[in-house]
Structure 1
Amino acid sequence: MLARRLVLAAAATLALAAPVLANDWRRTHPELVFSIIPSENSGGVLDRYGPFVAYLSSELGVKVTLRIANDYAAVIEGLRTGQVHFAHLGPSAYARAAIVTEGAVEPLVTMANSQGAIGYYSVLYVRTGDSARTVQDLAGRNLCLVDPNSASGNNVPRFALNRLGIVPETHFAKVVYAGSHENAVVGLMQGTCDAAFNWWNTERESNLLRMAAKGMVKAEDVRIVFRSDLIPGSPITMMRAMPEPMRAAVRQAFLDAAEKGREAFLRISDGNATRYEPVKTEDYQVMVDLTRFIDQMRRRRS
Protein backbone atom coordinates (compact mmCIF):
# COMPACT_ATOMS: atom_id res chain seq x y z
CA MET A 1 0.00 0.00 0.00
CA LEU A 2 2.78 2.40 0.95
CA ALA A 3 4.63 1.62 -2.29
CA ARG A 4 1.47 2.29 -4.28
CA ARG A 5 0.98 5.66 -2.52
CA LEU A 6 4.57 6.60 -3.27
CA VAL A 7 4.13 5.72 -6.95
CA LEU A 8 0.90 7.76 -7.15
CA ALA A 9 2.54 10.70 -5.39
CA ALA A 10 5.50 10.59 -7.75
CA ALA A 11 3.19 10.45 -10.78
CA ALA A 12 1.24 13.45 -9.49
CA THR A 13 4.46 15.38 -8.94
CA LEU A 14 5.62 14.63 -12.46
CA ALA A 15 2.25 15.66 -13.87
CA LEU A 16 2.47 19.00 -12.07
CA ALA A 17 6.08 19.49 -13.13
CA ALA A 18 5.49 18.70 -16.81
CA PRO A 19 3.98 22.09 -17.77
CA VAL A 20 6.77 23.87 -15.92
CA LEU A 21 9.41 21.85 -17.73
CA ALA A 22 7.70 22.48 -21.06
CA ASN A 23 7.80 26.20 -20.36
CA ASP A 24 11.45 26.27 -19.25
CA TRP A 25 12.46 27.82 -22.58
CA ARG A 26 10.57 30.99 -21.65
CA ARG A 27 12.77 31.43 -18.59
CA THR A 28 15.98 30.83 -20.53
CA HIS A 29 14.77 32.85 -23.54
CA PRO A 30 12.66 35.77 -22.23
CA GLU A 31 13.16 37.56 -25.55
CA LEU A 32 13.16 36.05 -29.05
CA VAL A 33 14.64 37.75 -32.10
CA PHE A 34 12.75 37.34 -35.38
CA SER A 35 14.83 38.36 -38.39
CA ILE A 36 13.89 39.07 -41.98
CA ILE A 37 15.58 40.44 -45.06
CA PRO A 38 13.38 43.17 -46.52
CA SER A 39 12.01 43.15 -50.05
CA GLU A 40 11.03 46.79 -49.48
CA ASN A 41 12.45 49.72 -47.51
CA SER A 42 12.86 49.34 -43.73
CA GLY A 43 9.98 51.69 -42.96
CA GLY A 44 7.65 49.57 -45.05
CA VAL A 45 8.81 46.42 -43.29
CA LEU A 46 8.18 47.88 -39.83
CA ASP A 47 4.73 49.07 -40.86
CA ARG A 48 3.89 45.68 -42.38
CA TYR A 49 5.28 43.47 -39.61
CA GLY A 50 4.71 45.57 -36.47
CA PRO A 51 1.25 44.15 -35.61
CA PHE A 52 2.35 40.62 -36.46
CA VAL A 53 5.33 40.83 -34.11
CA ALA A 54 2.94 42.05 -31.39
CA TYR A 55 0.74 39.01 -32.11
CA LEU A 56 3.74 36.67 -31.82
CA SER A 57 4.75 38.25 -28.50
CA SER A 58 1.26 37.72 -27.10
CA GLU A 59 0.93 34.20 -28.44
CA LEU A 60 4.36 33.00 -27.34
CA GLY A 61 4.30 34.71 -23.96
CA VAL A 62 7.72 36.35 -24.41
CA LYS A 63 8.91 39.55 -26.03
CA VAL A 64 9.56 39.15 -29.76
CA THR A 65 11.89 41.68 -31.37
CA LEU A 66 12.04 42.21 -35.12
CA ARG A 67 15.52 42.52 -36.59
CA ILE A 68 15.80 43.73 -40.17
CA ALA A 69 19.02 42.43 -41.73
CA ASN A 70 20.99 43.88 -44.63
CA ASP A 71 21.26 40.59 -46.48
CA TYR A 72 20.54 36.88 -46.22
CA ALA A 73 24.10 36.09 -45.15
CA ALA A 74 23.61 38.22 -42.03
CA VAL A 75 20.38 36.38 -41.15
CA ILE A 76 22.03 32.99 -41.61
CA GLU A 77 24.96 34.00 -39.43
CA GLY A 78 22.55 35.32 -36.81
CA LEU A 79 20.77 31.97 -36.72
CA ARG A 80 24.03 30.06 -36.57
CA THR A 81 25.40 32.10 -33.66
CA GLY A 82 22.14 32.18 -31.71
CA GLN A 83 21.66 35.94 -32.03
CA VAL A 84 18.54 35.22 -34.10
CA HIS A 85 16.01 32.68 -32.85
CA PHE A 86 13.79 32.35 -35.91
CA ALA A 87 13.87 33.94 -39.32
CA HIS A 88 11.93 34.38 -42.53
CA LEU A 89 14.24 33.07 -45.25
CA GLY A 90 13.83 32.79 -48.97
CA PRO A 91 14.08 29.17 -50.16
CA SER A 92 17.59 29.71 -51.55
CA ALA A 93 18.71 31.36 -48.34
CA TYR A 94 17.29 28.39 -46.42
CA ALA A 95 19.22 26.04 -48.72
CA ARG A 96 22.39 28.03 -48.08
CA ALA A 97 21.75 27.86 -44.34
CA ALA A 98 21.23 24.10 -44.58
CA ILE A 99 24.54 23.73 -46.38
CA VAL A 100 26.69 25.97 -44.15
CA THR A 101 25.22 24.54 -40.94
CA GLU A 102 25.36 20.96 -42.25
CA GLY A 103 21.63 20.46 -41.84
CA ALA A 104 21.33 22.14 -38.43
CA VAL A 105 18.40 24.34 -39.53
CA GLU A 106 14.74 23.34 -39.62
CA PRO A 107 11.98 24.81 -41.83
CA LEU A 108 8.77 25.24 -39.83
CA VAL A 109 6.05 26.78 -42.00
CA THR A 110 5.53 28.72 -45.19
CA MET A 111 2.71 30.94 -46.41
CA ALA A 112 0.04 29.79 -48.84
CA ASN A 113 -0.93 32.48 -51.34
CA SER A 114 -4.39 33.72 -52.29
CA GLN A 115 -4.95 30.69 -54.52
CA GLY A 116 -3.84 28.29 -51.79
CA ALA A 117 -0.57 27.44 -53.57
CA ILE A 118 2.59 27.00 -51.52
CA GLY A 119 5.30 28.67 -53.53
CA TYR A 120 5.96 31.52 -55.93
CA TYR A 121 7.79 32.40 -59.14
CA SER A 122 10.76 34.31 -60.44
CA VAL A 123 9.87 36.68 -63.26
CA LEU A 124 11.97 38.85 -65.54
CA TYR A 125 10.64 42.35 -66.07
CA VAL A 126 11.41 44.79 -68.86
CA ARG A 127 9.97 48.25 -69.42
CA THR A 128 6.66 48.18 -71.30
CA GLY A 129 8.04 50.04 -74.30
CA ASP A 130 11.02 47.73 -74.69
CA SER A 131 11.06 45.71 -77.92
CA ALA A 132 12.44 42.59 -76.16
CA ARG A 133 10.03 39.65 -76.01
CA THR A 134 12.37 36.92 -74.76
CA VAL A 135 15.53 36.55 -72.68
CA GLN A 136 17.44 35.96 -75.91
CA ASP A 137 16.36 39.41 -77.15
CA LEU A 138 18.22 40.98 -74.20
CA ALA A 139 21.67 39.90 -75.35
CA GLY A 140 24.27 42.63 -74.84
CA ARG A 141 22.09 44.63 -72.45
CA ASN A 142 22.18 45.14 -68.66
CA LEU A 143 20.56 42.82 -66.10
CA CYS A 144 19.58 43.49 -62.49
CA LEU A 145 19.65 40.56 -60.07
CA VAL A 146 18.77 40.93 -56.36
CA ASP A 147 21.05 39.17 -53.85
CA PRO A 148 23.44 36.21 -54.32
CA ASN A 149 21.34 34.16 -51.86
CA SER A 150 17.94 35.17 -53.26
CA ALA A 151 15.93 32.38 -54.88
CA SER A 152 13.76 34.47 -57.21
CA GLY A 153 16.39 37.18 -57.60
CA ASN A 154 19.46 35.08 -58.43
CA ASN A 155 19.61 31.31 -58.00
CA VAL A 156 16.45 30.29 -59.86
CA PRO A 157 17.18 32.78 -62.67
CA ARG A 158 20.71 31.42 -63.10
CA PHE A 159 19.46 27.83 -63.08
CA ALA A 160 16.70 28.63 -65.59
CA LEU A 161 19.06 30.60 -67.85
CA ASN A 162 21.53 27.72 -67.79
CA ARG A 163 18.79 25.42 -69.09
CA LEU A 164 18.36 27.90 -71.96
CA GLY A 165 22.09 27.76 -72.66
CA ILE A 166 22.62 31.29 -71.34
CA VAL A 167 25.44 32.39 -69.03
CA PRO A 168 24.40 35.78 -67.59
CA GLU A 169 27.93 37.24 -67.47
CA THR A 170 28.47 36.60 -71.18
CA HIS A 171 24.92 37.02 -72.50
CA PHE A 172 24.38 40.40 -70.84
CA ALA A 173 26.67 43.41 -71.11
CA LYS A 174 26.55 43.93 -67.34
CA VAL A 175 25.07 42.03 -64.38
CA VAL A 176 24.23 44.14 -61.30
CA TYR A 177 23.22 42.97 -57.82
CA ALA A 178 20.63 45.56 -56.74
CA GLY A 179 20.53 44.43 -53.08
CA SER A 180 16.74 44.18 -52.75
CA HIS A 181 13.71 43.38 -54.89
CA GLU A 182 12.58 46.99 -54.73
CA ASN A 183 15.98 48.25 -55.80
CA ALA A 184 15.97 45.91 -58.78
CA VAL A 185 12.67 47.38 -60.03
CA VAL A 186 13.90 50.92 -59.35
CA GLY A 187 17.06 50.12 -61.29
CA LEU A 188 14.93 48.97 -64.20
CA MET A 189 12.79 52.10 -64.17
CA GLN A 190 15.82 54.40 -63.86
CA GLY A 191 17.67 52.69 -66.71
CA THR A 192 20.46 51.15 -64.62
CA CYS A 193 19.38 47.85 -66.13
CA ASP A 194 17.22 46.83 -69.06
CA ALA A 195 15.73 43.79 -67.32
CA ALA A 196 15.25 42.82 -63.67
CA PHE A 197 14.37 39.58 -61.92
CA ASN A 198 11.82 39.70 -59.09
CA TRP A 199 9.36 37.61 -57.08
CA TRP A 200 5.79 37.13 -58.29
CA ASN A 201 3.02 35.11 -56.62
CA THR A 202 -0.12 35.71 -58.65
CA GLU A 203 -1.67 38.40 -60.82
CA ARG A 204 -2.84 39.97 -57.55
CA GLU A 205 0.35 39.66 -55.51
CA SER A 206 3.89 40.61 -56.39
CA ASN A 207 6.64 42.94 -55.28
CA LEU A 208 5.76 45.16 -58.25
CA LEU A 209 2.16 45.58 -57.08
CA ARG A 210 3.32 46.37 -53.53
CA MET A 211 5.56 49.09 -54.91
CA ALA A 212 2.72 50.39 -57.10
CA ALA A 213 0.41 50.53 -54.05
CA LYS A 214 2.97 52.80 -52.36
CA GLY A 215 3.23 55.05 -55.41
CA MET A 216 6.81 54.03 -56.16
CA VAL A 217 6.11 52.76 -59.68
CA LYS A 218 3.25 52.22 -62.08
CA ALA A 219 2.61 48.52 -62.64
CA GLU A 220 1.67 49.13 -66.26
CA ASP A 221 5.14 50.53 -66.96
CA VAL A 222 6.71 47.05 -66.92
CA ARG A 223 5.87 43.65 -68.36
CA ILE A 224 7.05 40.07 -67.93
CA VAL A 225 9.19 38.34 -70.56
CA PHE A 226 10.02 35.21 -68.53
CA ARG A 227 8.45 33.25 -65.65
CA SER A 228 10.12 30.34 -63.87
CA ASP A 229 8.69 27.06 -62.64
CA LEU A 230 7.11 27.15 -59.17
CA ILE A 231 9.62 27.79 -56.34
CA PRO A 232 9.02 26.27 -52.86
CA GLY A 233 7.63 28.84 -50.43
CA SER A 234 9.85 30.97 -48.18
CA PRO A 235 10.11 29.16 -44.82
CA ILE A 236 10.12 30.40 -41.25
CA THR A 237 13.30 28.75 -40.01
CA MET A 238 14.91 27.84 -36.68
CA MET A 239 18.05 26.03 -35.56
CA ARG A 240 17.39 22.45 -34.47
CA ALA A 241 19.49 23.19 -31.36
CA MET A 242 16.75 25.46 -30.02
CA PRO A 243 14.53 23.75 -27.38
CA GLU A 244 11.94 21.52 -29.02
CA PRO A 245 9.03 23.08 -27.03
CA MET A 246 10.14 26.50 -28.28
CA ARG A 247 10.23 25.32 -31.89
CA ALA A 248 6.80 23.74 -31.47
CA ALA A 249 5.38 26.93 -29.94
CA VAL A 250 6.77 29.13 -32.73
CA ARG A 251 5.44 26.76 -35.39
CA GLN A 252 1.99 26.71 -33.80
CA ALA A 253 1.88 30.50 -33.45
CA PHE A 254 2.39 30.84 -37.21
CA LEU A 255 -0.11 28.07 -38.00
CA ASP A 256 -2.72 29.82 -35.83
CA ALA A 257 -1.99 33.31 -37.15
CA ALA A 258 -4.62 33.37 -39.91
CA GLU A 259 -7.30 32.88 -37.25
CA LYS A 260 -5.94 34.21 -33.96
CA GLY A 261 -4.05 37.18 -35.38
CA ARG A 262 -6.05 37.64 -38.55
CA GLU A 263 -5.66 41.40 -39.07
CA ALA A 264 -1.91 41.26 -38.47
CA PHE A 265 -1.63 38.18 -40.69
CA LEU A 266 -3.48 39.82 -43.57
CA ARG A 267 -1.37 42.95 -43.21
CA ILE A 268 1.92 41.19 -43.95
CA SER A 269 0.59 39.88 -47.27
CA ASP A 270 -1.70 42.79 -48.22
CA GLY A 271 -4.61 40.42 -47.71
CA ASN A 272 -3.36 38.04 -50.39
CA ALA A 273 -2.39 35.01 -48.29
CA THR A 274 -4.72 32.37 -46.88
CA ARG A 275 -2.71 30.68 -44.11
CA TYR A 276 0.63 29.27 -43.01
CA GLU A 277 1.26 25.63 -43.85
CA PRO A 278 3.76 23.25 -42.18
CA VAL A 279 6.81 22.26 -44.22
CA LYS A 280 9.63 19.79 -43.74
CA THR A 281 13.27 19.46 -44.69
CA GLU A 282 12.57 17.23 -47.70
CA ASP A 283 10.42 19.95 -49.29
CA TYR A 284 13.56 22.02 -49.84
CA GLN A 285 15.95 19.38 -51.13
CA VAL A 286 15.38 20.69 -54.66
CA MET A 287 16.64 24.10 -53.50
CA VAL A 288 19.68 22.58 -51.80
CA ASP A 289 20.49 20.76 -55.05
CA LEU A 290 20.00 23.98 -57.02
CA THR A 291 22.29 25.90 -54.65
CA ARG A 292 25.01 23.28 -54.97
CA PHE A 293 24.63 23.62 -58.76
CA ILE A 294 25.12 27.38 -58.49
CA ASP A 295 28.22 26.82 -56.34
CA GLN A 296 29.68 24.48 -58.93
CA MET A 297 29.08 27.06 -61.67
CA ARG A 298 30.89 29.71 -59.63
CA ARG A 299 33.85 27.41 -58.97
CA ARG A 300 34.16 26.62 -62.67
CA ARG A 301 34.30 30.35 -63.50
CA SER A 302 36.90 31.14 -60.82
Structure 2
Amino acid sequence: MNSQIIDTIKQYSTIIIHRHVRPDPDAYGSQLGLKYLLEQNYPDKRILAAGTHDYTMDFLDFPDAVEDQDFEGALVIVTDTANTERVDDQRYKTGAKLIKIDHHPNDDAYGDIVSVDTTASSASELIYELFAYGSEHEGWTLSAKAARLLYAGIIGDTGRFLFPSTTQKTFAIAGELIKFEFDRNELHNGMYEMDRKLLHLQGYMYQNFKMDENGAAHVKITKDILKEFSVTATDTSLLVGSLGNVKGMKAWVILIEEDTEIRVRLRSKGPIINTLAKEFGGGGHPMASGATAYSWEEADLVIQRLAEICAAAK
Protein backbone atom coordinates (compact mmCIF):
# COMPACT_ATOMS: atom_id res chain seq x y z
CA MET A 1 0.00 0.00 0.00
CA ASN A 2 2.83 2.44 0.80
CA SER A 3 4.25 1.74 -2.66
CA GLN A 4 0.91 2.63 -4.24
CA ILE A 5 0.66 5.83 -2.19
CA ILE A 6 4.16 6.95 -3.16
CA ASP A 7 3.58 6.15 -6.84
CA THR A 8 0.42 8.26 -6.69
CA ILE A 9 2.18 11.14 -4.93
CA LYS A 10 4.77 11.23 -7.71
CA GLN A 11 2.03 11.88 -10.29
CA TYR A 12 0.73 15.18 -8.84
CA SER A 13 2.29 18.61 -8.66
CA THR A 14 -0.15 19.85 -5.99
CA ILE A 15 -1.01 17.82 -2.89
CA ILE A 16 -3.50 19.01 -0.29
CA ILE A 17 -3.59 17.26 3.08
CA HIS A 18 -6.65 17.30 5.37
CA ARG A 19 -7.41 16.01 8.88
CA HIS A 20 -10.43 15.93 11.17
CA VAL A 21 -12.37 18.72 12.83
CA ARG A 22 -11.70 19.44 16.53
CA PRO A 23 -8.08 18.39 15.96
CA ASP A 24 -5.82 16.72 18.48
CA PRO A 25 -2.03 16.31 18.31
CA ASP A 26 -2.28 13.24 16.08
CA ALA A 27 -4.47 15.13 13.60
CA TYR A 28 -1.89 17.91 13.35
CA GLY A 29 1.05 15.54 13.70
CA SER A 30 0.03 13.26 10.85
CA GLN A 31 -1.21 16.05 8.57
CA LEU A 32 1.67 18.49 9.00
CA GLY A 33 4.26 15.78 9.54
CA LEU A 34 3.28 14.40 6.13
CA LYS A 35 3.38 17.88 4.63
CA TYR A 36 6.96 18.50 5.72
CA LEU A 37 7.97 14.96 4.79
CA LEU A 38 6.75 15.49 1.23
CA GLU A 39 8.23 18.99 1.00
CA GLN A 40 11.60 17.56 2.04
CA ASN A 41 11.58 14.90 -0.65
CA TYR A 42 9.65 16.65 -3.44
CA PRO A 43 10.73 20.30 -3.29
CA ASP A 44 9.20 21.00 -6.72
CA LYS A 45 5.71 20.00 -5.57
CA ARG A 46 3.24 22.33 -3.85
CA ILE A 47 2.13 20.77 -0.55
CA LEU A 48 -0.70 22.42 1.42
CA ALA A 49 -2.32 21.61 4.77
CA ALA A 50 -6.03 22.46 4.86
CA GLY A 51 -8.44 23.06 7.74
CA THR A 52 -9.39 25.63 10.33
CA HIS A 53 -6.67 26.25 12.89
CA ASP A 54 -7.37 25.37 16.50
CA TYR A 55 -5.56 27.68 18.94
CA THR A 56 -4.90 24.78 21.33
CA MET A 57 -2.50 23.49 18.67
CA ASP A 58 -0.47 26.73 18.47
CA PHE A 59 2.49 24.97 20.05
CA LEU A 60 2.63 22.49 17.16
CA ASP A 61 2.13 24.39 13.91
CA PHE A 62 -0.42 26.05 11.64
CA PRO A 63 -2.30 24.96 8.50
CA ASP A 64 -2.18 26.86 5.21
CA ALA A 65 -4.66 29.15 3.48
CA VAL A 66 -6.02 26.99 0.66
CA GLU A 67 -7.99 28.52 -2.21
CA ASP A 68 -10.74 26.82 -4.22
CA GLN A 69 -8.59 26.77 -7.35
CA ASP A 70 -5.84 24.91 -5.51
CA PHE A 71 -7.97 21.76 -5.60
CA GLU A 72 -8.14 21.68 -9.40
CA GLY A 73 -6.15 18.65 -10.50
CA ALA A 74 -4.74 18.16 -6.96
CA LEU A 75 -4.13 14.96 -5.05
CA VAL A 76 -5.97 15.09 -1.72
CA ILE A 77 -4.80 13.04 1.28
CA VAL A 78 -6.90 12.80 4.44
CA THR A 79 -5.18 11.60 7.61
CA ASP A 80 -6.56 10.46 10.97
CA THR A 81 -10.22 10.82 9.95
CA ALA A 82 -12.56 7.83 10.09
CA ASN A 83 -15.60 9.24 8.31
CA THR A 84 -16.28 11.91 5.72
CA GLU A 85 -18.48 14.02 7.99
CA ARG A 86 -15.48 14.73 10.23
CA VAL A 87 -13.10 15.89 7.49
CA ASP A 88 -12.17 19.50 8.18
CA ASP A 89 -12.89 21.47 4.99
CA GLN A 90 -15.34 19.59 2.83
CA ARG A 91 -13.62 20.86 -0.30
CA TYR A 92 -11.52 17.72 -0.01
CA LYS A 93 -14.09 16.17 -2.37
CA THR A 94 -13.10 18.52 -5.21
CA GLY A 95 -9.59 17.22 -5.86
CA ALA A 96 -8.63 14.88 -8.68
CA LYS A 97 -7.84 11.86 -6.49
CA LEU A 98 -8.30 11.00 -2.82
CA ILE A 99 -6.17 8.94 -0.41
CA LYS A 100 -7.27 7.99 3.10
CA ILE A 101 -4.59 7.19 5.72
CA ASP A 102 -6.06 6.28 9.09
CA HIS A 103 -5.92 4.01 12.12
CA HIS A 104 -9.60 4.09 13.16
CA PRO A 105 -12.03 1.30 12.26
CA ASN A 106 -12.74 1.59 8.53
CA ASP A 107 -16.52 1.94 8.76
CA ASP A 108 -16.49 4.62 6.06
CA ALA A 109 -14.10 3.37 3.38
CA TYR A 110 -13.93 6.60 1.40
CA GLY A 111 -11.19 7.45 -1.07
CA ASP A 112 -9.66 6.04 -4.24
CA ILE A 113 -6.83 4.57 -2.16
CA VAL A 114 -7.62 3.47 1.39
CA SER A 115 -4.75 2.74 3.78
CA VAL A 116 -6.16 1.82 7.19
CA ASP A 117 -4.33 -0.07 9.95
CA THR A 118 -6.27 -0.32 13.21
CA THR A 119 -3.28 -1.93 14.95
CA ALA A 120 -1.32 1.33 14.67
CA SER A 121 -1.20 3.57 17.71
CA SER A 122 -1.83 6.68 15.66
CA ALA A 123 -1.99 8.11 12.17
CA SER A 124 1.41 9.65 12.87
CA GLU A 125 2.82 6.14 13.31
CA LEU A 126 1.47 5.28 9.85
CA ILE A 127 3.10 8.37 8.34
CA TYR A 128 6.41 7.28 9.85
CA GLU A 129 5.96 3.85 8.27
CA LEU A 130 5.33 5.58 4.94
CA PHE A 131 8.60 7.47 5.46
CA ALA A 132 10.45 4.26 6.37
CA TYR A 133 9.25 2.63 3.15
CA GLY A 134 10.16 5.74 1.16
CA SER A 135 13.57 5.84 2.81
CA GLU A 136 14.30 2.25 1.81
CA HIS A 137 12.94 2.37 -1.72
CA GLU A 138 13.09 6.03 -2.76
CA GLY A 139 15.91 7.51 -0.68
CA TRP A 140 13.52 9.70 1.34
CA THR A 141 14.85 11.71 4.27
CA LEU A 142 13.02 13.13 7.26
CA SER A 143 13.50 16.60 8.73
CA ALA A 144 13.58 17.38 12.45
CA LYS A 145 10.47 19.52 11.90
CA ALA A 146 8.53 16.53 10.57
CA ALA A 147 9.95 14.21 13.23
CA ARG A 148 8.77 16.55 16.00
CA LEU A 149 5.22 16.55 14.65
CA LEU A 150 5.07 12.77 14.22
CA TYR A 151 6.43 12.26 17.73
CA ALA A 152 3.78 14.64 19.10
CA GLY A 153 1.05 12.72 17.31
CA ILE A 154 2.25 9.42 18.72
CA ILE A 155 2.55 10.53 22.32
CA GLY A 156 -0.77 12.35 22.05
CA ASP A 157 -2.73 9.33 20.83
CA THR A 158 -0.98 6.89 23.18
CA GLY A 159 -1.38 9.08 26.28
CA ARG A 160 2.39 9.23 26.64
CA PHE A 161 2.61 5.49 25.88
CA LEU A 162 0.09 4.51 28.58
CA PHE A 163 -2.78 3.39 26.32
CA PRO A 164 -3.14 -0.26 25.18
CA SER A 165 -2.65 0.88 21.56
CA THR A 166 1.06 1.31 22.35
CA THR A 167 3.03 -1.57 20.85
CA GLN A 168 6.66 -2.59 20.57
CA LYS A 169 6.62 -1.01 17.11
CA THR A 170 5.34 2.24 18.62
CA PHE A 171 8.26 2.38 21.05
CA ALA A 172 10.70 1.55 18.25
CA ILE A 173 9.37 4.36 16.06
CA ALA A 174 9.42 6.83 18.96
CA GLY A 175 13.01 5.79 19.58
CA GLU A 176 13.89 6.65 15.99
CA LEU A 177 12.10 10.00 16.13
CA ILE A 178 13.85 11.23 19.27
CA LYS A 179 17.17 10.89 17.44
CA PHE A 180 16.23 14.09 15.61
CA GLU A 181 17.11 17.47 17.06
CA PHE A 182 13.99 19.01 18.57
CA ASP A 183 13.21 20.13 22.10
CA ARG A 184 11.16 17.37 23.70
CA ASN A 185 10.71 19.27 26.96
CA GLU A 186 9.29 22.27 25.14
CA LEU A 187 6.98 19.99 23.16
CA HIS A 188 5.76 18.13 26.26
CA ASN A 189 5.12 21.42 28.04
CA GLY A 190 3.08 22.65 25.12
CA MET A 191 1.00 19.50 25.16
CA TYR A 192 0.40 19.05 28.87
CA GLU A 193 0.85 22.32 30.74
CA MET A 194 -2.48 23.88 31.74
CA ASP A 195 -3.60 27.32 32.78
CA ARG A 196 -4.68 27.71 36.39
CA LYS A 197 -8.31 28.16 35.31
CA LEU A 198 -8.27 24.72 33.68
CA LEU A 199 -6.81 23.16 36.81
CA HIS A 200 -9.63 24.76 38.80
CA LEU A 201 -12.15 23.22 36.40
CA GLN A 202 -10.38 19.89 36.79
CA GLY A 203 -10.91 20.22 40.53
CA TYR A 204 -14.60 20.86 39.90
CA MET A 205 -14.76 17.68 37.81
CA TYR A 206 -13.16 15.60 40.55
CA GLN A 207 -15.62 16.99 43.09
CA ASN A 208 -18.73 16.56 40.95
CA PHE A 209 -18.39 13.42 38.83
CA LYS A 210 -20.85 10.59 39.48
CA MET A 211 -19.81 6.93 39.36
CA ASP A 212 -22.06 3.89 39.74
CA GLU A 213 -21.27 0.52 41.29
CA ASN A 214 -20.07 -0.85 37.94
CA GLY A 215 -17.48 1.85 37.36
CA ALA A 216 -19.42 3.94 34.83
CA ALA A 217 -18.96 7.66 35.46
CA HIS A 218 -20.02 10.98 34.04
CA VAL A 219 -19.67 14.68 34.65
CA LYS A 220 -21.71 17.48 33.11
CA ILE A 221 -20.09 20.79 32.25
CA THR A 222 -22.73 23.35 31.35
CA LYS A 223 -22.22 26.69 29.66
CA ASP A 224 -22.63 28.36 33.04
CA ILE A 225 -19.80 26.27 34.48
CA LEU A 226 -17.56 27.08 31.50
CA LYS A 227 -18.31 30.75 32.06
CA GLU A 228 -17.66 30.48 35.80
CA PHE A 229 -14.16 29.08 35.17
CA SER A 230 -13.51 31.30 32.11
CA VAL A 231 -12.75 28.37 29.82
CA THR A 232 -14.08 27.31 26.43
CA ALA A 233 -15.45 23.95 25.34
CA THR A 234 -12.29 23.48 23.27
CA ASP A 235 -10.10 24.07 26.33
CA THR A 236 -11.66 21.10 28.06
CA SER A 237 -10.01 18.69 25.62
CA LEU A 238 -6.99 18.72 27.94
CA LEU A 239 -9.11 17.32 30.77
CA VAL A 240 -10.69 14.33 29.05
CA GLY A 241 -8.35 11.79 30.63
CA SER A 242 -8.58 13.21 34.16
CA LEU A 243 -11.20 10.81 35.50
CA GLY A 244 -9.08 7.86 34.47
CA ASN A 245 -7.06 8.41 37.64
CA VAL A 246 -10.03 7.38 39.79
CA LYS A 247 -9.74 3.91 41.32
CA GLY A 248 -12.56 1.61 40.23
CA MET A 249 -13.33 3.64 37.13
CA LYS A 250 -14.11 1.50 34.07
CA ALA A 251 -15.39 4.08 31.60
CA TRP A 252 -16.49 7.68 31.70
CA VAL A 253 -18.15 10.37 29.66
CA ILE A 254 -17.57 14.11 29.91
CA LEU A 255 -20.47 16.19 28.57
CA ILE A 256 -19.68 19.77 27.57
CA GLU A 257 -22.49 22.13 26.65
CA GLU A 258 -22.05 24.48 23.71
CA ASP A 259 -24.51 26.89 22.09
CA THR A 260 -26.39 24.36 19.97
CA GLU A 261 -25.03 20.97 21.00
CA ILE A 262 -23.36 18.97 23.75
CA ARG A 263 -19.95 17.47 23.11
CA VAL A 264 -19.76 13.85 24.22
CA ARG A 265 -16.26 12.71 25.13
CA LEU A 266 -15.97 9.03 25.99
CA ARG A 267 -13.00 7.19 27.48
CA SER A 268 -12.56 3.67 28.82
CA LYS A 269 -10.13 1.45 30.68
CA GLY A 270 -11.61 -1.74 29.25
CA PRO A 271 -15.21 -1.77 27.94
CA ILE A 272 -15.57 -1.00 24.23
CA ILE A 273 -17.20 2.43 23.87
CA ASN A 274 -16.82 3.43 20.22
CA THR A 275 -19.97 1.43 19.49
CA LEU A 276 -21.78 3.75 21.90
CA ALA A 277 -20.31 6.78 20.16
CA LYS A 278 -21.65 5.47 16.84
CA GLU A 279 -25.16 5.26 18.33
CA PHE A 280 -25.02 9.03 18.71
CA GLY A 281 -23.49 9.91 15.35
CA GLY A 282 -19.88 9.76 16.45
CA GLY A 283 -17.06 7.24 16.48
CA GLY A 284 -13.42 6.76 17.27
CA HIS A 285 -11.24 4.18 18.96
CA PRO A 286 -12.55 1.28 21.08
CA MET A 287 -11.47 3.09 24.25
CA ALA A 288 -11.42 6.75 23.18
CA SER A 289 -14.35 8.14 21.21
CA GLY A 290 -16.56 11.15 20.76
CA ALA A 291 -20.07 12.03 19.67
CA THR A 292 -22.63 14.83 19.84
CA ALA A 293 -25.90 15.17 21.74
CA TYR A 294 -28.44 17.87 20.99
CA SER A 295 -30.20 18.06 24.36
CA TRP A 296 -29.55 17.12 27.95
CA GLU A 297 -32.23 14.44 27.59
CA GLU A 298 -30.18 12.86 24.80
CA ALA A 299 -27.01 13.26 26.89
CA ASP A 300 -28.74 11.36 29.71
CA LEU A 301 -29.32 8.51 27.25
CA VAL A 302 -25.56 8.39 26.65
CA ILE A 303 -25.01 8.12 30.41
CA GLN A 304 -27.60 5.35 30.64
CA ARG A 305 -26.08 3.38 27.79
CA LEU A 306 -22.57 3.74 29.24
CA ALA A 307 -23.86 2.34 32.53
CA GLU A 308 -25.37 -0.62 30.68
CA ILE A 309 -22.10 -1.30 28.84
CA CYS A 310 -20.08 -1.25 32.07
CA ALA A 311 -22.62 -3.48 33.82
CA ALA A 312 -22.41 -6.00 30.98
CA ALA A 313 -18.61 -5.95 31.19
CA LYS A 314 -18.61 -6.68 34.92
Instruction: Pick the structure with more strand per residue.
Output: 1
Same fold (TM over 0.5): no
Scaled by the length of structure 1, what TM-score is found?
Answer: 0.29
Structure of higher CA gyration radius: 1
Higher RCO structure (Cα 8 Å, ≥6 apart): 1
Structure having the higher helix fraction is: 1
TM-score, normalised relative to structure 2: 0.28
